[in-house]
C-alpha cells in the first residue's frame, strides 16, 4: 500500500507494524466488545514523528486512534474501522525531574506505576492510583482524567497536570501552560485536552506534579449496619481526619472475595455494607482520634464491627478486600456501570437502582462497590448460570436505559471515571445537554478540522 510505505519512510526509524497479531493487540482495549481492524500501528519515538503522522493522515484522509496501555473500559482506544493506531509505547521516558517544583516531565507512554515508582524513589508520591496502574499510561490517564481510589484526598489526574504538549488535528504542536502553577492568560486549553479521549489531539508530553509521600497510612474497615448510616459516618470521620480514601463494597462483594480463599476476612460480623477508610496516622493523637470516632460510630449504631490495620501487611490485606473485587467479578461476566451522583444522594440513588433491577430481573444479582466518598458507584450485574451471555447482555441493555434515566433524574454522570469512548456514546445525552454536546462538537472542529483524531469516540 503506497500510503503506508510513505508513512513508513516518514517516521523511520520508528516502527510501523502491520502483522495480524499486532493489529489484533493494538486495535482493542479492555472493553472487549469490538472487533479490532486497524490499518496499521505506528510507534513514534519523537514529537516530530507524531506531527508527521498527523500531517500524513490529513493528506491521506486516514483516521487516527491513540493507544496507551489500552486498559480503558469504554472503547476509546478501539480501532475497528481501518484507523491507524498511534501507540505511545516507544515514548516511555521520564525526561526531566525538578525536586524543588516536585515536577516530572513525562513522555505519554510512561506507565502509571513507573511514575509512582519514580516518585517513591525520590521520596515523593504520585497519588493517582487504580487497579490498572501497572499497565495504563500517563497519556491515557490524562485523556480520561483518571480517578481511582485516592480522589477524596488528592483529586483526579487533572489536578496533577501542570503542563501539556499536544499535537492537534492540524499537526500543530501546542505547548500548554509549561508547568506553571499560576497562569491567568485566557482560556486554559490544557483543561480541554484532559479527559478528551484523544478526540482533540494527542498528548505527546506532560508535566506531572508530585506530592509529599504519605506517612504511616492506616486503614479501617467497618461493617455498616444500614445504607443510611454511610453518610453520617463519612461526615463524622471527615470532619476530624483528612481521609485519603473512603471506599465501600456490599456484603455480596465481600462474599465473592472471601470465596477466593486467599484474602482473610476482616471480622466475623456480617453487615449489608462495608466501608474502607484510610488516613495518615502521623502521630498518636490522630490514631486515637480515629479510634474514638470508631467507638462513636459503634455507639450510634452506624457500624457493628471494625478493624484497624497495625502494619503495612495488614494495610495491604485490608485493601485487597476492595481492590480484588473488579478482577474477582470478571469471572461472572458482569454487566458493568460506572456511575456518579453528588455524594449525599448516593443512598437514595443506590436504592432506586436496586429496586429497578429487582423489579425487572428478580433473579439478577446486583453487586455494588466503589468510591463512595466521591459519589462514584460501580454497579455490577452478574449473569445467572441459567442464562446465555447474549440473552443476559440483551436484558441488561434493556434495563440500562432505565438506569441512565435514573442517573439523569439525579443529575449524575453515566461515566464517573471510565470515559465515554464507543461504549457510552449513545448515553451521553443523559449527562450532557444538547447545547453542551453541540458546543463539544464545535470545539472538536476547532482543534480537529479534518475529523481525523479518534473520530466516533465520545459523540
CB-nearer residue toward its own copies: 391 or 446: 446
Min. distance of Cβ 11 from its own copies in angstroms?
A: 23
Min. distance of Cβ 290 from its own copies in angstroms?
A: 14
CB-nearer residue toward its own copies: 278 or 417: 417
Cell of 446: 476547532
CB-nearer residue toward its own copies: 2 or 434: 434
Min. distance of Cβ 140 from its own copies in angstroms?
A: 12
CB-nearer residue toward its own copies: 22 or 337: 337
CB-nearer residue toward its own copies: 331 or 409: 409
CB-nearer residue toward its own copies: 342 or 358: 342
Min. distance of Cβ 428 from its own copies in angstroms?
A: 6
Min. distance of Cβ 249 from its own copies in angstroms?
A: 17
CB-nearer residue toward its own copies: 28 or 371: 371
Min. distance of Cβ 10 from its own copies in angstroms?
A: 22
Min. distance of Cβ 407 from its own copies in angstroms?
A: 10
CB-nearer residue toward its own copies: 182 or 389: 182
Task: Give all strands of the β-sheet with 243-250 in edge-to-edge order.
Answer: 303-308, 217-224, 273-280, 243-250, 365-371, 376-382, 335-340
Min. distance of Cβ 159 from its own copies in angstroms?
A: 7
Amino acid at each position: 500500500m503506497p500510503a503506508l510505505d510513505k508513512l513508513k519512510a516518514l517516521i523511520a526509524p520508528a516502527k510501523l507494524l502491520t502483522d495480524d497479531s499486532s493489529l489484533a493487540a493494538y486495535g482493542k482495549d479492555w472493553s472487549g466488545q469490538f472487533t479490532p481492524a486497524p490499518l496499521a500501528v505506528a510507534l513514534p519515538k519523537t514529537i516530530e514523528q507524531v506531527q508527521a503522522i498527523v500531517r500524513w493522515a490529513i493528506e491521506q484522509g486516514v483516521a487516527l486512534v491513540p493507544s496507551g496501555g489500552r486498559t480503558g473500559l469504554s472503547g476509546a482506544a478501539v480501532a475497528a474501522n481501518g484507523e491507524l493506531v498511534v501507540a505511545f509505547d516507544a515514548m516511555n521516558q521520564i525526561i526531566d525531574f525538578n525536586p524543588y517544583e516536585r515536577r516530572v516531565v513525562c513522555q505519554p507512554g510512561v506507565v502509571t506505576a513507573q511514575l509512582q515508582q519514580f516518585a517513591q524513589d525520590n521520596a515523593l508520591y504520585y497519588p493517582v492510583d487504580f487497579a490498572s496502574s501497572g499497565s495504563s499510561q500517563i497519556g491515557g490517564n490524562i485523556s480520561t482524567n483518571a480517578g481511582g481510589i485516592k480522589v477524596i484526598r488528592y483529586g483526579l489526574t487533572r489536578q496533577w497536570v501542570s503542563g501539556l504538549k499536544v499535537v492537534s488535528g492540524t499537526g500543530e504542536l501546542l505547548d500548554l501552560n509549561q508547568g506553571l502553577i499560576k497562569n491567568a492568560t485566557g482560556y486554559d486549553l490544557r483543561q480541554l485536552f484532559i479527559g478528551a479521549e484523544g478526540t482533540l489531539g494527542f498528548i505527546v508530553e506532560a508535566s506531572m506534579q508530585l506530592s509529599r509521600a504519605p506517612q504511616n497510612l492506616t486503614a479501617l474497615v467497618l461493617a455498616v449496619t444500614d445504607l443510611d448510616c454511610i453518610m453520617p459516618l463519612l461526615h463524622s470521620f471527615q470532619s476530624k481526619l483528612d481521609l485519603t480514601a473512603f471506599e465501600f463494597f456490599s456484603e455480596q462483594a465481600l462474599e465473592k472475595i472471601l470465596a477466593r480463599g486467599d484474602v482473610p476476612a476482616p471480622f466475623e460480623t456480617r453487615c449489608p455494607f462495608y466501608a474502607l477508610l484510610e488516613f495518615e496516622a502521623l502521630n498518636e493523637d490522630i490514631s486515637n482520634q480515629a479510634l474514638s470516632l470508631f467507638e462513636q460510630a459503634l455507639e450510634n449504631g452506624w457500624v457493628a464491627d471494625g478493624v484497624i490495620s497495625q502494619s503495612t501487611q495488614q494495610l495491604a490485606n485490608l485493601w485487597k478486600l476492595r481492590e480484588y473485587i473488579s478482577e474477582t467479578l470478571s469471572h461472572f461476566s458482569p454487566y458493568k456501570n460506572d456511575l456518579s451522583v453528588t455524594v449525599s444522594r448516593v443512598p437514595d440513588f443506590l436504592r432506586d437502582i436496586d429496586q429497578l433491577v429487582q423489579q425487572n430481573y428478580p433473579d439478577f444479582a446486583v453487586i455494588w462497590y466503589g468510591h463512595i466518598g466521591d459519589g462514584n458507584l460501580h454497579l455490577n450485574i452478574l449473569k445467572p448460570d441459567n442464562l446465555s451471555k447474549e440473552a443476559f447482555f440483551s436484558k441488561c441493555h434493556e434495563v440500562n436505559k432505565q438506569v441512565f434515566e435514573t442517573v439523569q433524574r439525579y443529575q449524575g454522570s453515566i461515566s464517573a471515571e471510565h470515559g465515554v469512548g464507543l461504549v457510552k456514546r449513545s448515553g451521553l445525552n443523559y449527562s450532557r445537554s444538547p447545547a453542551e454536546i453541540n458546543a463539544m462538537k464545535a470545539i472538536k472542529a476547532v482543534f480537529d478540522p479534518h475529523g481525523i483524531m479518534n473520530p466516533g469516540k465520545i459523540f
